[in-house]
Amino acid sequence: MELTVAVTGASGSLYAQRTLTHLAASGAVERVNLIMSEAALIVARVETGAKLEAGDVRAVNEWAGLAPDSKLVRWHRLDNMAAAPSSGSHPQAGMIVVPCSMGTLGAISAGAITNLIHRAADVTLKEGRKLVLVPREAPYNLIHLENMTRLARAGARIIPASPPFYHRPQTIQELVDHLVFRILDQFGVPHSRSTQWKEEQAAAPAAD
């Protein structure tokens, strides 16, 4: 399987980091086309302490816990409109934008293509492939909601960064991983089932 992962400047770079980690661990993904905006690099440095620079795949591998020489990730410049994800004739399973800023979400919704993230998302929709958007904003205003509605109607899957607590997470990473597993579920990518709902977790209802 081949996927495109785009990272924008919204808060929540941990979601992108763990998405790459679990895609690699799954064994089901042969290639990840990675696109990171400059804002995403800045946010990742602030939130995770990562020493990321544009085009530095070794630094990305270290950030995601991969081997330094891993070939899983292929970095694409934001301005490279000739990159593989920009073409519908290049086969892949779909695209994940995690986290997805409201600016990026609005541009995709409007079909306003000014960089490779916008173009790759537009191609994903037009080819009928899965586009998963992970918005991280609060509160949503009406423009945000209307853009998400428009994209949902176009076939995108909206997975807001709002993890649940029924699996009794003990760490931030456990919270993050739960959401990442929901993202991977959209593509049938195998992962740990430790956070899945189990019927026995709920008490049986009283008899009438």
| Structural domains of the chain, ranges and CATH numbers in brackets | 2-191 (3.40.50.1950)
Please say whether the beta carbons of 134 and 99 come within 8 A. yes
pLDDT of residue 43: 95
The pLDDT value recorded for residue 55 is 81
Q: In what order do the strands lie in the sheet with 2-7?
A: 73-75, 31-36, 2-7, 94-100, 130-135, 157-158
For the record, the structure tokens of 28 come out as: 């089901």
- The first and second tokens of residue 31, run together, are 């290639």
Please compute Rg for the chain using Cα positions: 17
pLDDT for the residue numbered 205: 55
Rounded distance, CA 162 to CA 167, Å? 14
> In this predicted structure, what is the pLDDT of residue 124?
98
Residue 147 confidence (pLDDT): 98
Instruction: Give the type of residue at 32.
Output: V
Q: What is the pLDDT of residue 24?
A: 93
Residue type, 30: E
Q: What residues contact 137, with CB distance under 8 A and at least 6 apart?
A: 10, 101, 102, 144
Q: Which residues of the chain have pLDDT under 70?
A: 199-208
**Which residue shows structure tokens 């292929």?**
74
